[in-house]
Amino acid sequence: MGMQLGIVGKPNVGKSTFFNAATDAHAEIANYPFTTIDANRGVMYIRTPCPCKDFKLKCTPHNSKCVNGTRFVSIEAIDVAGLVPDAHKGKGLGNKFLDDLRQAHALIHIVDASGSTDEEGNPCGSGTYDPLKDIEFLEKEITYWLFDIVKKSWEKIARQCELEDKKVDRMLAEKLTGLGIKEEHITSVLRKINLDASRPSKWTDDELLKLADHIRKISKPMIIAFNKCDKALDSLMAKMNDLKDYIINPTSAEGELALNNAAEKKLIDYTPGSNDFKILKKDELADKLLNNYQLCDSCLGRLFRQVSKGTTNKQKGELFRNNLKYEKETKDCWLCEGLLNEILHFVDIISDKLEEYEFDTFLIGSKIDEDILEREQELQDFTKSENTEPIKMEINREIGKILEKKLGKTVDFEKPNITAVIDTAFDVVNLQIRSLFIYGRYKKLKRGIPQTKWPCRICRGKGCKTCSNTGKTYDTSVEELISKRVLELTKGSGESFHGSGREDVDALMLGNGRPFVLEIKNPKIRNIDLSLFKRESNTHTQDIIEISNLRFSDKNEVARIKNAEFRKTYRVTIESEKPINKEKLKEAAQILLGKTIKQFTPTRVAHRRANKIREKKIYNCSIESVEDTRAKLTIETESGTYIKELISGDGGKTTPNISEMIDTPCKVKELDVIEIKGE
The rounded distance, in Å, linking the Cα atoms of 449 and 505 is 5
Which of 192-212 are b and which e, b meaning 16 or more Cβ less than 10 Å from the residue's Cβ? eeebeeeebeebeeeebbbbb
Strands 508-521 and 494-499: antiparallel
Beta-bridge mates of residue 626? 631
Q: CA end-to-end span of the chain, whole Å?
A: 57
Q: Cβ(545)–Cβ(640) under 8 Å?
A: no
Nearest to 117 by CA among 29, 227, 35, 12: 12
Peptide bond into 656 cis (omega under 30): yes
The rounded distance, in Å, linking the Cα atoms of 568 and 588 is 20
Q: Cβ(175)–Cβ(150) under 8 Å?
A: yes
**Which residues, 6 or more positions from 486, have their beta carbon under 8 angstroms from its beta carbon?**
438, 492, 495, 518, 520, 528, 533
Q: How many CB atoms lie within 10 A of CB 459?
A: 16
> DSSP for 472-513?
BSSS--HHHHHHHHHHHHHT-SEEEEEESS---TT-EEEEEE
Instruction: Please report which helix (H) or strand (E) contains residue 313, including its range.
Output: helix 313-323
DSSP summary character for residue 455? B
Rg (CA), the chain: 35
Burial class (CB in 10 A: 0-12, 13-18, 19+), 244: exposed
Q: How many CB atoms lie within 10 A of CB 510?
A: 19
The rounded distance, in Å, linking the Cα atoms of 44 and 37 is 20
The rounded distance, in Å, linking the Cα atoms of 279 and 281 is 7
The rounded distance, in Å, linking the Cα atoms of 19 and 257 is 9
Counting Cα atoms < 13 Å in the Cβ hemisphere of 560 gives: 11
Q: How many CB atoms lie within 10 A of CB 388?
A: 17
Catalytic residue, chosen from 230, 360, 423, 504, is 504
Strand runs (DSSP E) across 308-427, as ranges? 361-367, 410-411, 418-423
Active site residue 504: yes
Strands 70-79 and 508-521: unpaired
Q: What is the dihedral of CA 41, 43, 47, 52, to 10 degrees?
A: 170
Q: Which amino acid is present at 178?
A: G
Active site residues: 504
